Structure formats: structure tokens, C-alpha cells
A and B are shown apart, each in its own frame.
Chain A
Amino acid sequence: MGRMIEVKNLTRTYGDHTAVDDVTFSCKPGRVTGFLGPNGAGKTTTMRIMVGLSSASSGEVTIGGYDYHDIPNPGHHVGVLLDAGAQHSGRTGREILTIGARTMRLPASRVDEMLEMVSLTETESRRKLRNYSLGMKQRLGIAHALLGDPEVLILDEPANGLDPAGIRWMRDLLRGYAGRGGTVLLSSHLLNEVELVADEMVLIGRGRIVAQGDKLSLASLDTTESTLVTALDSEALVRGIEASGWSLAPEGDGFRVAAAPADVSRAAIEHRIVLTDLRSGAAGLEDMFLELTSTAQREGAAAPESLASISSAKGSHR
């Protein structure tokens, strides 16, 4: 499948500090790619380099086959929102969009279309930015990014400051945009924000990519089998599971079994145990996200063994 955004071996150093360390990933049309990592992991620096606001120490980025600097009137092709607060606080929302539209040489009617799309009312659009809530600023920022009807969206923490309804709105908007063939890269430090909207994920910690792939392949990285189980008769459950050869330990109301849910279910049937709850106890994306990124934070440049195994798992998947 074709790639709209290509980031290749991107490195950015500040003195001794490597903010972005050999980062490689790509984004495909029709897909939402989540760029996930804790604060200070290098997401914003990477995005700034992508749109030419910072220079790379080495490596390259192409968007739609172009170096960002070589795209004529880039607002028509790449919608960028790096910081919704980075607008003059004394300008009205409408004026901010008007300046963008004029720079891109778009008709003034486009401003009204965008205001309507992000549900900012006429009155709100004539308020100064300093009187906007964070959520309104994010909506305005999205409107600004979409002004030129671009094929690619690059959004840094777009859901930051949105209430649950706002997050739902953003999710529907981005899903619809990708559904029409658009390419979306959005960053976040919150997994659950990204998990709901992203098709693909790129996990970054300490400037390094620690894992990437679609949600299924990321979840399958966790190979340790584990099941959470609760039964009417706990003693019978312990006896039955141990008789089937699995080890278990109390957890919450029930037990954690070092086996797949199917194995536990089979053991329960065999020993005629009535279960009240049975589910996979495998680490979710969140645990994995925390583990991956915290390892990267602790270990710094040295690639720990667990990461090496993930890299190879990732490699075999692709």
C-alpha cells in the first residue's frame, strides 16, 4: 500500500541530548495513524521537523512525495495544527481563519464553511481568542487546518482540552476524513484518546520508536497467556484448575490463571465448575504502552531485551 507520509531515519540532537533518535515510520492514505508517547518523548519535535519549522540533524521526511518546503502553498495539501493556543490572543476566531484563508488565497466564504463545520457560532467567531475555552481553541485549530481542503492532516495533541463530547466529535471527524481517503497523523500522550480513532499506532519513548503497527498486531505482541476467572465455588475452581495442570493466584474477587481463556474454560467444563466471569488477562495496549515507553525512559539509549524482541516481532509482522 502506498505511503503518503514517509519519515526516514529522522534524528535531531540538541548538544548532547538526542530528542529524536533514528525515527522511521509512514502513514497511509485512508488511515488514521496515532503517534503515541509520554510528554517529552519527541512527538512535537518530530512533527515540527515534518513541517519545516525545525531542521533535522539527519534523516528525511516526505509528504505526498515532497519535502515540505517544496510544496507550493502547503496549506492546500497539508493541514497542520501543532498548538491551538499559538494564535494572537487579541484576534477573533474569524479573523484568525481569515488570515489563513487569505494567505492560502482562498475565498472568504471558506471561513464561514469551516466555522460551521466545527460548530463555532457567529457570536463565538467574533470573540477574541483570549476568551475561548481550550476546547473552542482546538475546534478553531481544526478549522484552520482544514481550510485548504488538504489531503493530509498533521495534528499535535488535538484532543487535549476537549470534553468527552468533543473527543467523540473529533473522532467522527477524523474517521470521516480518513474514510474519504485522507491521511491523518495525530499525536497524543493518552492512549485511550488515540486507541478509539487510530487504525495504526506508532509508539515513541525517549525519542525512539518502540513499537508500531495496527492495533491487532500491537496487542498480539503480548504473548504471555493469562486469564482472569471467577467461580461460584472458589475452592472447587482452585482444585479443578490445579488438577488440569495450570497455576493460579488470587486476584480481585477471583484468580489469575497462567493459561489461555479457552484452556481455563475447558478445565471448568471438565471439572463441572460454574464460572461467573471469564476473560483474557493479557496486558492491554495501555499496559504495554506504559511498559514500552517507561522502559525506554529508564534505559535510555541501550535497547533492552524486551524491546529487541518486540522489534523483531514487529519486523516479522510487516
Chain B
Amino acid sequence: MSTPTTPATAAPQTTFDVSGTPHLGFGTLVSVELRKTVDTRAGRWLVAAILALTAAAMVLFFAISDDADRVFESFIGFAATPQGFLLPVLGILLVTSEWSQRTAIVTFALAPSRTQVIGAKVVAALLLAFVAFAGAVGVAALATVAGGTDDGFGDVTVLTFVLFLGLQLLTILQGVAYGLLLLNTPAAIVAFFVLPVASSILFGTVPALEDLGPWLDLQTAQQPLFDGNFSVDGEQLAHLGVASLIWIVLPFVAGWTRVMRAEIK
């Protein structure tokens, strides 16, 4: 503990004694970031909406599907859609709210290492995606047991879980990436929803580009996963990898670079 209580008679210390200072722990920063996502009304509503829509999607699927389609994979595939919309928003807000609410001044004054702070945000985002994944798996399993076909879990493999989890993680990272790149909530949300649609329209309507679609268009590449078809082959994985590189990794790297250099106002 530091002490500005030096007696007036002693020569004042002009160098900090940092031997007793507890270090800024990365784990601490991650837990603070997690807390910051749910300590405002907007944050709590967003998380509640993700949970509610996940459950609602499965109920909806149950209502509209034929008996034979009610297998675990279909349930979980249906849950992926609302989560795919809302998790990225959570990822975006995790970054952009620091700028829109100007809390970045305080955050980075307390933790000057931007690598640590942004790293903590990324880890927090991944943890949130993992919680969403676990929730979706839980609800889908319940739904399959309660209302699925007799052999509802017949086709489930480890790959099912890995791919679904991978999809959730990539989706929230995409949100974080757009947040880092634009540092502005509305801009990042609009970019996140409009750019992929524009891309899909482009690749879907221009015949010359149709073959490139699975490689360059993220939605086309992710389509097999959203369909609940988790038995992807090597080529589809390659599509997913290349499209993710373009749509997620590159914006993330560019956004990271921007924040490392940004002037915090």
C-alpha cells in the first residue's frame, strides 16, 4: 500500500516503492470485463435476450417441424441463428462502449497495457460465447429428450460440438473485430449486419462469382453449420477457414493495430 503520509520532517520520497503493489492480473481484467457486460441495463437485456431467443427458437422449431426432423442437431442448428445475430452485438459492445461512453480514459489509465486490456476483452467474449454454447447445448438436449424422435441423438458426434462451438466463437470474435476496427457502436453493428448481406447478394447474383462464393462469402461458407449439418467435409472446412480469414481475422488484426496506436480521448 502506498503512503502519502510521509512526515513533514523526512525528506519526501520521489520514487515509487512498487515492491508491495499487487500486480495487475490478467484474470482480474477478464473478470472485470465480464462484470462490465452485465452491470448496465443494456448489457443485462442483451444477455437475457440471447438466452430467451435461444429457448424460443427451439420452441418454434418444435412447433413447425415434422416429427422425423426433431433431432438434436436440428435443434441446435436452429439455436445458432438467433445467437449468431446477438452474440456479435455483445462482442461489439464489449469494445465500442468504452469509446461511446468514454470509459476508455479510465480503463486505460488504470491498465495502461492495451494488449492486456484488449486481450482480456477477447477472452471475456470467448467465455461468453462458450456460455451461450453450453446453454444452447443444454436446451437442445432438453428439447430432444422431451420432444425429439426416438433416435434424436443418433447422429451426434464430437465434431458436432466442436463445429458448433467454433461457429459461436468465430461469430463473437467477428463482433469484437468490427468493434475494434470502427470503435463506434452503430457503425460496427451496421457494418456487421449489412456487409455480409451485401456480400451474399453480390456472390449470389453475379454468375461469374458464384464459384468463389463459398471461399469469399462468409454466409455461404457457414451455411452448412446453420443448416444443422455438422458433417462437413474437408473442402467445406477450407471454405470456412478462408472466408473466416477475410471476414474475421483480417478485420481483427486491423482493429487491434488501430487500438494499439489510438489516442484515447
Chain A residues with CB under 8 Å of chain B are 1-4, 28-30, 48, 51-55, 63-66, 68-69, 71-77, 80, 82-83, 85-91, 95, 99-100, 102-105, 144, 148-151, 177, 179-183
Contact = CB atoms under 8 A, between A and B. Distances in A.
Interface residues of B, number: 47
Contacts, number: 147
A65 B13 CA distance: 10
A181 B4 CA distance: 5
10 contacts: A2-B11, A48-B263, A53-B105, A65-B14, A72-B24, A74-B112, A75-B110, A86-B105, A88-B40, A103-B29
B16 A151 contact: yes
B21 A180 contact: no
B101 to A, nearest CB: 4
A102 B40 contact: no
B3 A149 contact: yes
A181 B5 contact: yes
Which 3 pairs, one residue from A and one from B, show the smallest C-beta to C-beta distance? A64-B16, A2-B14, A29-B12
A99 B15 contact: no
B5 A180 contact: yes
B111 interface: yes
Contacts of B32: 99, 102-103
B190 interface: no
Where chain A touches its partner, the secondary structure class is loop
Nearest to A90: B40
Given A83-B105, A88-B103, A89-B101, A48 B15 contact: no
Contact of A4 (B7, B11, B14, B110): B14
A102 B22 CA distance: 12
A76 B41 CA distance: 30
Contact of A100 (B5, B16, B104, B110): B110
B232 to A, nearest CB: 41
A88 B4 contact: no
A85 B105 CA distance: 10
A97 to B, nearest CB: 11
Contacts of B3: 149, 151
A86 B106 contact: yes
Contacts of A80: 106, 109
Contacts of A74: 109-110, 112
Contacts of B2: 76-77, 148-151
Nearest to A148: B2
Given A53-B109, A77-B21, A103-B107, 6 more contacts: A51-B109, A52-B108, A77-B18, A87-B101, A100-B110, A182-B4
